[in-house]
Structure 1
Amino acid sequence: MCGRYTLLADEIEILNEFGIEREIDSYQPSYNIAPGQDVLAVIHDGKEKRAGYLRWGLVPSWAEDEKIGYKMINARSETAHQKPSFKNLMARKRCLIVADSFYEWRREGKTKQPKRIQVAGRKLFAFAGLWDKWVHNEKELFTCTILTREANDFMQDIHHRMPIILPRDKEDEWVTSGKMPPDEVHQFLQTVQPEELTAYDVDTYVNAAKNNDAACIKPIA
């Protein structure tokens, strides 16, 4: 599961980290990125990598109603290569979704404690994502979803699922390898080893998506 995350780096850091030459239109950092919002992603257009915005919540090209996107913020990597909604996207529409931390909620009795989770020793990273273009009644949307996997030992104490974070040396392979059979993409994801993570508690202030300031990431005792 991945339902909230952050991206606080400046534009130059992002361009340098992902080897992108073009500027990012209307880039804005965020302390509390939520489903339904536009999120920064990197794709390969056949010639070069480009960074731009996709709406978080996949609306497949064949969907009748864009509201389906609210149910498709994540895709299970174990079965995505077999599902009609994701199979073709696994083959040819892979993206990097840029982040520098994500939030997860650990159940503690009757309450849930939000935690901010980061990659140890690495400021910026990318979730493995899929994207699609949807056109209906002259309305056009570009949307995405984040691939997830079973939690590793570190995350199991917090949640049973986690987003797939691509190691730096796997990022280009994910977006630039062109069309691939979905089964091969699935096998590629199986080889991705989870990054070392760190976590700390933050206030339930982050629970409301409207809250988007430094208080979201402030550690609590």
Structure 2
Amino acid sequence: MCGRFAQYSSRDEYFDALGLKPDEITFDPEPIGRFNVAPGTKVLLLSEREDALHLDPVFWGYGPEWWDKQPLINARGETAASGRMFKPLWNHGRAIVPADGWFEWQKEGGKKQPFFIYHRKKQPLFFAAIGKQPYGQDHGKEGFVIVTSSSNQGMVDIHDRRPLVIAADAVREWLSADTSPERAEEIAHDAAIPEKEFTWHPVSKAVGNIHNQGKELIEQLHEATD
């Protein structure tokens, strides 16, 4: 986790969930409509700079010049604040990915079945993220990664890692430049949405193809497919 997610609601719906006012950021009633967001694409990312909130398209992946492998897409929340790769991003590049859910694949015999995971009340989700600031500029493959946490309290039957989903009322503090790295660690621990708040169902294996983007990708699958 996290290798695929959905970001299909409108900006209005995400910002309403955060309690933002129209004069704080540009609202838009049109659905974003991305049901199969993949790494290596640009994702709408919420951040704060110059004391204002911004929503920018940012490359999902992080690979600095000295990194000779594929860009990383996730960072473990337990070590991101202290590791060589991610500490600078944790200190100065905290962001949020507004989302509606994410996909995980569970092994069933010799096959893998995808599941869509989302809030039980279908509320918007806010994934903790870190990356290269300022997000209003193109930094090539130095984009952002999604912060993950352990799924050892109810979701391990699908995957042992999940995105770190922050409660809506803690998002502004997470993003604030005035929030210390140490306080950000506390937020990541104390304001994370627990596993019990999520539910999931099997979906079509068509989600495995990034060219498929329709709403049918998140619909519940009632019969097994090959």
Q: TM range, normalised to the smaller chain?
A: 0.7 to 0.9
Looking at secondary structure, tell me which structure has more strand per residue: 1
Query: CA 1:82–1:210 in 2, change beyond 3 Å: closer, same or farther?
Result: same
Name which of 41, 44, 63 aligns with 1:40.
44
Q: How many residues align?
A: 211
Residues 76-108 of structure 1: CA deviation (Å, up to 9, x unaligned): 111111211110111111000110010011111
- In structure 1, C-alpha distance between the alignment counterparts of 2:83 and 2:188, rounded to whole Å: 16
SS in 1 for 2:6: strand
Matching of residues 45-84 of structure 1 within 5 Å = 45-60=49-64, 63-64=65-66, 68=69, 70-84=70-84
- In structure 2, C-alpha distance between the alignment counterparts of 1:49 and 1:214, rounded to whole Å: 29
Query: CA 1:216–1:131 in 2, change beyond 3 Å: closer, same or farther?
Result: same
Query: CA 1:125–1:92 in 2, change beyond 3 Å: closer, same or farther?
Result: same
- Percent identical residues: 27
TM-score under structure 1 length normalisation: 0.86
Instruction: State whether structure 2 residue 160 is matched by structure 1 residue 160.
Output: yes
Letter matched to residue 33 of structure 1: V
TM-score under structure 2 length normalisation: 0.84
Letter matched to residue 200 of structure 2: A
Letter matched to residue 32 of structure 1: N
SS in 2 for 1:145: strand
Alpha carbons 1:106, 1:159 under 8 Å: kept: yes
Instruction: State whether structure 2 residue 14 is matched by structure 1 residue 11.
Output: no
Matching of residues 106-125 of structure 1 within 5 Å = 106-125=106-125
Alpha carbons 1:154, 1:197 under 8 Å: kept: no
1:153, distance to aligned residue in structure 2 (A): 2.2
- In structure 1, C-alpha distance between the alignment counterparts of 2:143 and 2:27, rounded to whole Å: 20
- In structure 2, C-alpha distance between the alignment counterparts of 1:50 and 1:172, rounded to whole Å: 12
Alpha carbons 1:200, 1:219 under 8 Å: kept: yes
Match of 2:148 in 1: 148
Matching of residues 94-105 of structure 1 within 5 Å = 94-105=94-105
Instruction: State whether structure 2 residue 190 is matched by structure 1 residue 186.
Output: no
SS in 1 for 2:81: helix
SS in 1 for 2:103: strand
SS in 1 for 2:118: strand
Residues 102-161 of structure 1: CA deviation (Å, up to 9, x unaligned): 001111121111000101224311100001059xxxx74361100011104221111111
SS in 2 for 1:2: coil
- In structure 2, C-alpha distance between the alignment counterparts of 1:185 and 1:81, rounded to whole Å: 9
Letter matched to residue 169 of structure 1: D
Query: CA 1:21–1:133 in 2, change beyond 3 Å: closer, same or farther?
Result: closer
Looking at secondary structure, tell me which structure has more helix per residue: 1
User: Structure 2, unaligned stretches of length 5 or more?
Assistant: none
1:40, distance to aligned residue in structure 2 (A): 1.0
- In structure 2, C-alpha distance between the alignment counterparts of 1:178 and 1:29, rounded to whole Å: 33
Query: CA 1:59–1:79 in 2, change beyond 3 Å: closer, same or farther?
Result: same
- In structure 2, C-alpha distance between the alignment counterparts of 1:102 and 1:96, rounded to whole Å: 15
- In structure 2, C-alpha distance between the alignment counterparts of 1:88 and 1:14, rounded to whole Å: 27
Query: CA 1:27–1:33 in 2, change beyond 3 Å: closer, same or farther?
Result: same
Alpha carbons 2:132, 2:139 under 8 Å: kept: no
Instruction: State whether structure 2 residue 173 is matched by structure 1 residue 176.
Output: no
Query: CA 1:189–1:133 in 2, change beyond 3 Å: closer, same or farther?
Result: closer
